[in-house]
Structure 1
Amino acid sequence: MKKVILISFVLFIGLITAQAQVKVSPGLRGGLNFSTLTNIEDNNTKTDFYVGGLVDIKFNKYFSLQPEITYSRQGDEGTYFEDGRYYSEKYELNYITLGAVAKFNFGGSGFHILAGPSLDFKVDDNYINSDPEGFDMAIVAGVGYTLPNGLGFEARIKQGFIDIYGYEGVDDDYYYDEIILNQVFQLGISYTFKM
């Protein structure tokens, strides 16, 4: 009985010690989106913004998991010809994004690389003659630097995987080079509150 109590006590202390090393810190993030849609002629990059919250779950000085919720204004800026003139129009695709990025800190310093998936739910668009898909799945990758006070700077690339018009495969009339996907380059800042 004494051995069981001793083993239980050692396991309990080990569990508390392991839990004490994990640090959970909430934070805010925001910045600029430079977004476009693939395989569209005469389109340009649209500049807009993203803003949201995060929870930094730091397991050790080398690795963190960061769940995020973000409002992201995406789309592109297209050019069309009508009545002898060229016109420019911004196409809006606005999403609520749920993501989880893994952050790897080099040598335990503030410099990090990150990667992870995101699931985007469309909350608004300005398309008149069509109805883009209501969701997107994407992968995010980037680099950043976090100062000791919690202020961070990041550059990310976000690539969508679902055709905004719901295309699901290749047939004789439709090819992969015609799929219209979200692509976003993000420059932003974040602040993680120390708990």
Structure 2
Amino acid sequence: MKNMKTNIFSLIFLGLSTLSFAQLEFGVKGGVGISNTTIVHGVSKERIGFLAGAVAKYPLTTRNENHYIQAEVLYTNQGEYSLPKENGHKYKAFLNYINIPIMYKYYFDDQGKDFFLEAGPQLGFKVSEKFDEGEPEIENNIPKSFDLAFNIGGGYSIDRKFEINLRYQYGLIDTYDYVKWDNKTNRTSLLSLGVTYFFK
């Protein structure tokens, strides 16, 4: 896993190094999200958490300002609450990730104030977890350290400096392993509202 992470970061750095840094735009992003995980905890309740990190945007054409590739590095709260039927108590099943979405971004106009759509894959690396003691399935469910997801969303840009976006993330792989009984395929899900500021 460590070798895979090293190779992924090396490929990202190599790709960025081939670009013209004069055309790169950098910014910061923060927001709030509602997350859960399919199946694994049976009856569950979504977690409300935060996300924050850095953004880099690069134009795909010089003919207009409509098409971009945007890469982000975000610290993201994910997971959910487990609500077993036995006692009705709410248990934390929290996972925190460093997520790296690579998004294609299309602005409807090449002016300063306009709407945009975005879509692209995302690499996720678990950096911490928090599970309350007493949760009935805690001994069986083992969260994996890597997640692969796909994002789709849209938003509004103000002078290409301030942007607000709504994005939905859906996991493409199983994010939980098991010890005793098969917990089926568990995919991450995150609906987030973010605000981005680009340094001009």
Report the TM-score, using the length of structure 1 for normalisation.
Answer: 0.78
Alignment: residue pair count? 166
In the alignment, the residues of structure 1 paired with residue 23 and residue 190 of structure 2 have an alpha-carbon distance, to the nearest angstrom, of 30
Q: CA deviation at 1:86?
A: 1.4
1:132 paired to 2:143 = yes
In the alignment, the residues of structure 1 paired with residue 176 and residue 91 of structure 2 have an alpha-carbon distance, to the nearest angstrom, of 19
Q: What's the CA shift string for 1:26-78, capped at 9, x where partnerless?
A: 00011011001112421111100110101111234111111110101100111
In the alignment, the residues of structure 1 paired with residue 57 and residue 93 of structure 2 have an alpha-carbon distance, to the nearest angstrom, of 33
1:69 paired to 2:73 = yes
Higher helix share: 1
Cross-structure match for 2:4 = none
Would the aligned equivalents of 2:43 and 2:85 in 1 still touch at CA under 8 Å? no
In the TM superposition, 1:113-128 aligns within 5 A as: 113-127=117-131, 128=138
Query: Structure 1 stretch 181-190 or stretch 119-128: which is displaced more?
Result: 119-128
Partner of 2:142, secondary structure, is: coil
In the TM superposition, 1:4-153 aligns within 5 A as: 23-39=23-39, 40-59=41-60, 60-82=64-86, 85-109=87-111, 110-127=114-131, 128-129=138-139, 130-148=141-159, 150-153=161-164
Q: What stretches of structure 2 of length at least 5 have no aligned partner?
A: 1-19, 132-137
In the alignment, the residues of structure 2 paired with residue 67 and residue 164 of structure 1 have an alpha-carbon distance, to the nearest angstrom, of 23
Q: CA deviation at 1:81?
A: 4.1
Cross-structure match for 1:6 = none
Q: CA deviation at 1:151?
A: 0.7
Partner of 1:87, secondary structure, is: coil
Residue type matched to 1:23 in 2? Q
In the alignment, the residues of structure 1 paired with residue 169 and residue 116 of structure 2 have an alpha-carbon distance, to the nearest angstrom, of 17
Query: Structure 1 stretch 156-165 or stretch 36-45: which is displaced more?
Result: 36-45
Would the aligned equivalents of 1:113 and 1:142 in 2 still touch at CA under 8 Å? yes
The match for 1:185 among 187, 191, 195 is 191
In the alignment, the residues of structure 2 paired with residue 88 and residue 174 of structure 1 have an alpha-carbon distance, to the nearest angstrom, of 23
Residue type matched to 1:141 in 2? I
Displaced runs of 4 or more, over 4 A: none
The structure with the largest alpha-carbon Rg is 1
Q: CA deviation at 1:126?
A: 1.9
Partner of 1:154, secondary structure, is: strand
Would the aligned equivalents of 1:56 and 1:192 in 2 still touch at CA under 8 Å? no
Q: What's the CA shift string for 1:124-145, capped at 9, x where partnerless?
A: 1124524311100000100011
Would the aligned equivalents of 1:30 and 1:49 in 2 still touch at CA under 8 Å? yes
Cross-structure match for 1:7 = none
Q: What CA RMSD, in Å, does the superposition of the two structures yield over aligned residues? A: 2.2
In the alignment, the residues of structure 2 paired with residue 149 and residue 101 of structure 1 have an alpha-carbon distance, to the nearest angstrom, of 16
